[in-house]
Structure 1
Amino acid sequence: MQYSDAFLKDILTRTKVVAVVGVSMNPVRPSYYVARYLTLKGFKVVPVNPGNAGQRLFGQEVRASLSDCPDTVDMVDIFRRSEHVTPIVEEALQVFPELRTVWMQIGVENAEAAALAEARGIDVIQNRCPKIEYQRLFGELRMGGFNTGVISSKL
């Protein structure tokens, strides 16, 4: 999947509330540190994991499902296997009338779910990580010596 830097940056700039489906309470799991990173960058993260419902993570109550989320959500970030994505997107479309983005993590792709969201005018990102894209597009990877392909100054 090819996405322009401007498209990704626009999504990350306009997003304020992210429901992270499949977040783990284990700090070594990618879903944990991505959700934590987004929280540290000022996003409100609503953790969703039925196995940990009722516990607290990053100052928020872990929800059993998207239907249990109390807030309007701008973006749903999905940490589930590709074959489990369609019901998640269907639920998100029912629960969040203001939803603007469905984001599927690295290794997660589902054409059916993407088509459902896109038919409603919702932006869809597949096989990408918002943490990595944020770091790349907003200059944090350059500090680690990575060539991000993003020119940040002009001569």
Structure 2
Amino acid sequence: MRTSNQDLDLSILRSSPPDGTELRQANQTFNKALADNDSLASPTRRYAKRMTRLVESQNAEIALLRKQLADAQEVIETRKKRTKGKRVKLQGQFVFSSEEVLKMVREAEEKSKEKKPRGRPRKRPIEELEEEAEEEEPDSSSSDLELELDECVARRTRSHREN
């Protein structure tokens, strides 16, 4: 059985990227034509079969990468979209020096300033309380140690507040 050039779909060579099923059918037709042709050496036929498999796998990988790229670009575009502020108000304006545009920008900036808290939120300082214990007369030689223990400084932290 002889395969003619008319059986091979050469339009697939001009398409970028080729459709997966069309590529597979064209490769099967090509491999069948190689198997029927006895004039080609065996290494040439093996090379052609491997190349057709390589082209199919590369085509599948390209399709996956294009899908991933489209998804990533969609995510980036949604991040870039502005919903409020002066950029949204200036959208579609080509002359920025007019009084109306300047007024719109100032209003948008004032609204954004009203919403923004200034600076970093501060934590309340820790309060120190001195508690004096009842004074007792020292009885022993370790009186210095007892005096230090009697006059202790208690710290009240945020986690142990008294109500």
TM-score with structure 2 length normalisation? 0.20
TM-score with structure 1 length normalisation? 0.21
Higher strand share: 1
Greater RCO (Cα-Cα under 8 Å, separation 6 or more): 1
Higher helix share: 2
